[in-house]
Structure 1
Amino acid sequence: MDVALSGLLLHADRVMKVVDCPRSRLYDVVAAAFQAGNCRPAMIELGVHKGDNAARLMELLKPRHTVLVDAWSADSLKTYSHFDRLPPWILPLTAFERYFGGSLSDQATFDRTYEVARQRFEGRSDVEIIRDDTVSAFASIRDRHGDGAFDFIYVDANHQYEYVLRDLLYYQHLLAPNGVMMLNDCCHSQKGMNQNLGVLEAVGNFMKRADFMPVALTSTDMSDLIVARRGSQVAEALDAALDGSDIAFVEVMPQMLPSAHIRVSPQGRTRVSFA
């Protein structure tokens, strides 16, 4: 390894970029990193809903194979809160019925959503849909494809702490050495508290157990996060892609990630703070 590349890897390994851009721009960055490595990725998405995000990822990343995992089950929402009576800072599930298109206690709501996703990708030999919980799906995917077979994994299933941590600890084994994981709603904000999110806390725990590091975090109230293996070439490629873009960012120590929280200005603008 030459001195210049070694220096870039060391830089990418010791900083996290807090970026001023929406999620869609991070997809562009991931696509650029894969293109730089001449990689046409294989992809997994955990948490599919109607398939809007999966379709966007496929358009930008142009994966050679995609596995979409979602239970599409009313029973999966029984873990929304561990308490019989919801704490006042957590919104009831009825608050999200408009997003899901019906009652969240009615399995028919999820059956309709599944049909939308199924029909969206029907007839595509490069798309595999698994209607199951993420752990059962993991076993199926591992048996069929083996460890390290995927280059990009988007984690957006159950957002409660224990379930996010479990998904990360399992699915890291399916990720290639130069693979990328991305998480949605990785933040501590009022909106996050209202939805009982535990993504940020789960990632913080995961980083202590696995040799991954945060690469980029969006400065939004429902932040998106890119993680990659420490010292990997893809971490350097992501860092270089951000450096070469017009995306504004600041660099912070990656150990600061668990302290991230959202501050909202009097004008309503959201910013990530570590103070």
Structure 2
Amino acid sequence: MSNWDDGVKNFVKKLFGDTNEKRVKALKPYVVRANSFADAFVKLSDDELKGKTAEFKQRIDNALKDVPDVKLLADDVPKMPGQIRTMKDKALAQVLESILPDAFAVCREAGSRVLNMRHFDVQFMGGAALHFNKIAEMRTGEGKTLVATLPTYLNALAGRGAHVVTVNDYLARRDSEWMGRLYGYLGLSTGLVYSHQPDWEKATAYQADITYGTNHEYGFDYLRDNMRKSLDELVQRPYYFAIVDEVDNILIDEARTPLIISGYPRESFIELYVRMSQVSPLL
């Protein structure tokens, strides 16, 4: 019976193909295209390589300048990863996809110069998968931190902010300082959000091109922002793109623990408390 089941599975696989293999195959052209820039980019001076960031941003601005800000989905439609909600979102997705090979190649060359770490082709594929809102499974030691720099750099070019979500404060601080050298070399700013951080510092971190933090801190900052009395007091910016490290842990295991924060009391009972404190000694 087992042999028959295996035979059926093999037949179905041959007939329809393996889903993962199809996805990997679809990413290979981006890797080939990115590799084609390697010889040219290695010859660039530091200033010329750094100048690529401004060049990419200009390409994005040119692609969006004449696009009307027309909604394609109603505001009450639930938001989903990679969802195209406006005409500008659609145009931005298209231009980022066209820039992807160039941007990945620039990031690889910058990594070689700044970090002495060069992205491998398989890391290019992982970065492309993340950009297209897929989950990329990698073992410990295969360079997840370096892989994340590729889609993070690419999406930070849009100027809407890119978030990197880690599982603890140590990793958030380590990666922001470590990979921040790469982003800084390419002209992008990096911010870090952490527990018990002053609001003004948090707001500055969220306004950076790339922001590192933990899932808990992002969640509590969202809750705190919803309790603010003025829009000027908000620390977070509108959400655009995020890379989630240890996605199974954060979105499955830790998601079972709700984030709860106390709100401001609607009524003040201070006067009553003062009067009772005066009465109680007389009892």
TM-score by length of 2: 0.30
Structure with the higher helix share, 1 or 2: 2
Larger Cα-atom Rg: 2
More strand as a share of residues: 1
